[in-house]
Structures are given as C-alpha cells and as structure tokens.
Structure 1
Amino acid sequence: MFALIGKKAGDPRSRSHVAYLGAEDRRVLPRPLRRMVRFGVSLATGRIHIPGHTGTFATFGFLSAVGLYGMSLGGHAQDVAQATTAAVGFAIEDVRVSGNGETSEIDILQLLGLDGTTSLVALDVDAARRKLSGLPWVQYAEVRKVYPRTIEVMLKEREAFGVWQHGSELSLIERNGSIIAPLRDSKFASLPLFVGRDAETAAASFVDQMAAWPDIRSRIRAYVRVAGRRWDVHLDNGVVLKLPEANIGNALAVMARLEKEQGILERDIAAVDLRLEDRTTVELTTGASERRKDALEARTKALKKAGEQS
C-alpha cells in the first residue's frame, strides 16, 4: 500500500507517482528462477500431467546412479561389467593364436587371465597387447575381438641368431645382439656360439665378413671375442685361427691358400696365428711338439755320429 497525501484520487499525477513507486519497490526474479517458479505453480495447479509410476522409476534411477558411483569409487565397476556381460553370452570361449613358434598358448591364456568366464566386451585389447609384448619371444602382438565369444591373437616372434656365452651363462641372441632368453635345451645347438665381452654386439658383422670364406666358415664351432677387439675362431677339429684386429680378409686369404697348397688344417696343429701381416705362425699340438722334438734330437745325433765317422 502506498500513502498519498494532498492528491486527489483521480489526479493523473497521483497515478504516475504510484506507478513510479511500484516500479522502484518491485523485485524481479532471474530468468532461470522464474521458469522454476512457473513450473512449480503449474505442477501444483495440475496443469502438468505426471505419468504413473514416475516416482518409482525415479527412485530406481537414483539408487542405480548411487550404486554405480559407489562401484566406481571402490574400483569394482570393471568387475561388475565383466560379470554382467559374460552372463548374457559374451564370455570368451575360443582363442585363436597364430605366429607362435616358441611362445606357448598356455602362457598366453594365463597372461591374459582367460579362464572361461572372461567377458569379451570388458576385455581391454590395448592392455592385452602390452602384456603379450612383454613375453621373451614376442616382438609384436595384435589382439582382436570377434563377437560374440572369440579373440584372435597374432604374434610376430623374434628370431634367434646365435648363442652368447657370458661367464657361465648361455643366452639366445638376435642379430642385433639383443638377448631373447636363456638357453634351456639343445634345440638351438646348431646356432653359432659367440664367447666373450661385446661378442653379442659384434657377432653379426663378423659373420657377414666370414661369408666370403664358406669353406672355413662351415667348419667354425665357436667365435671367441678377445679383449673386445679381435676374434679367435675355433674349428670343428680343435684348431684355433687367431685373426687380427683389422684386415681380416687378408688373413683369411692367407689361411685359404695354406689350406689349398699344404692342407695345413689336416695336420697335427693346435693353432694358426694370422695376426701379423708379414708372417704366419703355426703352433703344434703337445703330441706333435714332442714328436718334433724327438725327431730333431734324433737328427742331431745322427749328424753328429756321421761327422765323427768321417
């Protein structure tokens, strides 16, 4: 109510003054609140029709949201999804593995945790790929879902190049020198043996150099790295070829000539020293050395006796 003094009821100035005072004192709600008020009024007066069972559905929705939120906080959402989707027909029943020559299918199943109740929907393909890539022989792994109950595992395995002996340990290595796994059986006995420090990293380049000498290479049983600088090669008959640090090709050419002209590798020798370019040294076996010594002594005595008689 507004109090008007000294003005007539019909005076226009009075009406304008009333309107002015009303506009000043009136409070206007923000637009979002006005919508809420109008909705509340309409709901109270029955102008808005609410379908039956809305409250029941809303209650269930609220409880479901609270449950999901609780499972998320507790870290059980994945387990619930796993159990639910497996129960409705998405449990993994078939695993197709390809490309595995050295990797056991049992190891794959155990690593992925596939026990017959694992859900295909809930399976994390990226995590499965990372796990498989951590297996010793696996270079690359691919995992694919095939709905409704199958996964395909495709592997690319590493290739064994040789056996590296470091101390008392034997390990399978790749061509680049990377260790694949410890040597556990005689399955890879035919692979070349590399011995010594840095032998695993220098192996491939040296074997490539030996490719030009197939007759010698076919007889090598072990490549021994000496002081991380040069190689000794052990042949199938026990003879050791001591190669230089540089100009290996020249040394092998000398060795090939000696073998062709004199059949030196078939003699009773222990080693051929090819480290010096201007000369080649042959080391006899213990038995051959003793026989040579005896022969020299006998020859000396014979010459001495012949001189005395003359």
Structure 2
Amino acid sequence: MLALRGNRGKRVRHPLGVSAEADGAFVLPRPLRKSVRLLVGLGTGRVRFPAHTGTFSAAAFLLATGLYGMSLGGHTQNFAQASTTAAGFAIEDVRVSGNEQTSEIDILQQLGLDGATSLVALDIAEARRLIGELPWVESVTVRKVYPGTIEVDLAERKAFGIWQHGSDLSLIERSGSVIAPLRDNKFAALPLFVGRDAETAAANFYDDFSRWPEFRARVKAFVRVAGRRWDLVLKNGIVVKLPEKGVARAMRVLADMEEGHQLLERDIAAVDLRLDDRTTIQLTPDAVARREVALKAREKMLKELEKQEKRI
C-alpha cells in the first residue's frame, strides 16, 4: 500500500504487513480519493475549466428547468408544435384515398387541423383513432410525408340495407351493425327491413328470398314480426304473411295462385300463408263494401226469381 508523501516528497512503499496507521498517517477510503483530489485541485488552481463553461452550464440549467416546467404544466406538445411549425413543418396537404361516403372535410375537422398544425408533432396513433371514430370508416392508415403532407387511406363499411326501428331509419351492414342514420335518398334502392331484431336477421332471409326474384322485386319492405317470422309489404300495399317455418312451401302456394288467378293484382289487403292446410285472403275495405252490395243484389235477385216461380 502507498502511504502519503514522506519527508522528501516521494512515495514510500511500506513493507508487507505494515499499515500506514503504524506511522500515524490517515488514508482516505478508495471511493473518496478522486473527489478529494478534484476539490484540492480546484482550490489550488491546478484544475481549470474551458472558457464560458459557467455560461453554458447556466443556460443548460435554465433550459432543463423550463422543459421540466412545461412538462408539469402540459405545454410540451404546444411548444414542440410551435417550434416545428416555425421551422417549416406545418401540415399543408392532406391526401385521402379510399373514401366514398367520408368527406375530406370530416377528416380535417376530426383531426382538428387549422393550417398551423405541425407534421412533426402529429401523433399518428391518435390520428388513426380519431379518424376511426367516423361512422363509415372500417379501417384507416395514416402516413407522414415530410415536410408537410399527410396521406390517409380508408377502407369504408358497405351498406347492405335500411333498418326502420320506430320512426328512425338507419343504414346497416350485412352483419346488422348500424353504420349511420339515413339522411337522404342516395340509398333508396337498398332493401328496407322493419321491426325489432330485423337488422340481425335481414341478410340470411334476404339471401334465401333471392330464390323468388319475381316476388323480391315487388317487395317494398320486409317486416320482422315478434322476432320469429316475416311479412312482405308489396309495393301495391298488399301484405303477404309468411310462416315461421316452411317459407318455401308458402311461396310455392303464392306462385301458383298468382299464375292461375293473378291474385296480387286484385283488390285485396293481405294473403295469409301461415297455415299449411289453408290460405286466407283479406279484402280491402272498398272490396268488402262492393262485395256486400253484390251479395245484397244477388239475394234480392234470388227472391224475385222465387216469387216468379210461385206465380207460375
């Protein structure tokens, strides 16, 4: 072990087994020696710092303090946006692809772009989340193109039909998920499904009903009844009541009656096909009134004939 300097300023190595304490000298612990030497050097002037070190240190301290304060106050994002925008990274162009129902204005409003938004400070994950909240958006990809462009690629949901629940009309997907309220006549050609649970059962029934295209083209609305069966409301106002099971059998009966008697062109209100052994036809109020008049006239005619036969 090396002891402190001797009388002549030279280091003296003690013999093995003899410690510095035997000479009355104090030896610092090893971890503290470098720190003490640095302090002694600073005090004696042997250690010197480069020029302006103190200025730079003070500036760094103030900058660190400012950044820490902005972080505590939640202003870091605003500072980053303002500084990068001033440096020429403001978002100036938004390129949208894959959109048919989603307008570019909706996307700009959803992202809150105001012409001074920084591309550097834009959070891509948050931008995807915000755009994904728009009703027609199924998936979205957002990409930065420096210095000032955003590319947005959309995959939109597909409207399958219109669902009427109460007085509200909504566009639905094949799965029955509601896309958005119906606002205009752009989707008037889509099939209309009415009633509770009609939206979830619509796709399967509509696909099965495609086996009778001549009737499907005449349907104005498919009405779900008690969550079990369907009624067909035709464009001329006639209601065809289908059974819960055996729809194919009921449609064959309807096809035969239409072919043989043009049933659906007559003055009737409804055709009830729910029972296997019989078909019930409901007349319109006008048809009922005409039938009553006809029955009374026939009854009167029969009475007149009966009187004439008695005279003879």
Same fold by TM-score greater than 0.5: yes
Q: Specify the alignment match of 1:8 in structure 2.
A: none
Q: Distance in 2 between matches of 1:239 and 1:251?
A: 16
Identity of aligned residues (%): 64
* Stretch deviating more after TM superposition (288-297 or 271-280): 288-297
Q: Specify the alignment match of 1:92 in structure 2.
A: 91
Secondary structure, aligned partner of 2:245 = coil
Q: Specify the alignment match of 1:256 in structure 2.
A: 255
Which amino acid is 1:139 matched to? Answer: E
Instruction: Please tell me whether residue 54 in structure 1 is matched to residue 56 in structure 2.
Output: no
Which amino acid is 2:295 matched to? Answer: L
How do 1:166-177 residues align onto structure 2 when only pairs under 5 Å count?
Answer: 166-177=165-176
Secondary structure, aligned partner of 1:188 = coil
Compute the displacement of 1:26 (Å): 5.5
Residue 301 to residue 81, structure 1, CA distance change in 2 (3 Å): same
Q: Specify the alignment match of 1:32 in structure 2.
A: 31
Q: Specify the alignment match of 2:4 in structure 1.
A: none
Instruction: Please tell me whether residue 162 in structure 1 is matched to residue 166 in structure 2.
Output: no
Q: Specify the alignment match of 1:143 in structure 2.
A: 142
Compute the displacement of 1:296 (Å): 2.4
Q: Specify the alignment match of 1:103 in structure 2.
A: 102
Q: Specify the alignment match of 2:245 in structure 1.
A: 246
Task: Answer whether contact 2:137 2:154 (CA < 8 A) is retained.
Answer: yes
Q: Specify the alignment match of 1:305 in structure 2.
A: 304
Q: Distance in 1 between matches of 2:271 and 2:26?
A: 111
TM-score, with normalisation over the residues of structure 2? 0.88
Q: Specify the alignment match of 1:5 in structure 2.
A: none
Secondary structure, aligned partner of 1:208 = helix
1:182-234 Cα shifts (integer Å, max 9, x gaps): 22222222222211111111111111111111000011111111122211111
Task: Answer whether contact 2:195 2:223 (CA < 8 A) is retained.
Answer: yes
Q: Distance in 2 between matches of 1:255 and 1:58?
A: 93
Q: Distance in 2 between matches of 1:130 and 1:281?
A: 55
Instruction: Please tell me whether residue 189 in structure 1 is matched to residue 185 in structure 2.
Output: no
Secondary structure, aligned partner of 1:233 = strand
Secondary structure, aligned partner of 2:153 = strand
Task: Answer whether contact 2:20 2:27 (CA < 8 A) is retained.
Answer: no
Q: Distance in 2 between matches of 1:268 and 1:145?
A: 65
Residue 112 to residue 32, structure 1, CA distance change in 2 (3 Å): farther
TM-score, with normalisation over the residues of structure 1? 0.88
Aligned residues: 295
Residue 216 to residue 33, structure 1, CA distance change in 2 (3 Å): same
Q: Distance in 1 between matches of 2:78 and 2:221?
A: 54
Ranges in structure 2 where 5+ consecutive residues have no aligned partner? 1-13
Task: Answer whether contact 2:269 2:284 (CA < 8 A) is retained.
Answer: yes
Task: Answer whether contact 2:172 2:180 (CA < 8 A) is retained.
Answer: yes
Which amino acid is 2:145 matched to? Answer: V
Compute the displacement of 1:264 (Å): 1.0
Secondary structure, aligned partner of 2:186 = helix
Compute the displacement of 1:309 (Å): 2.5
Ranges in structure 1 where 5+ consecutive residues have no aligned partner? 1-14
Which amino acid is 2:213 matched to? Answer: P
Q: Distance in 2 between matches of 1:189 and 1:31?
A: 88
Q: Specify the alignment match of 1:205 in structure 2.
A: 204
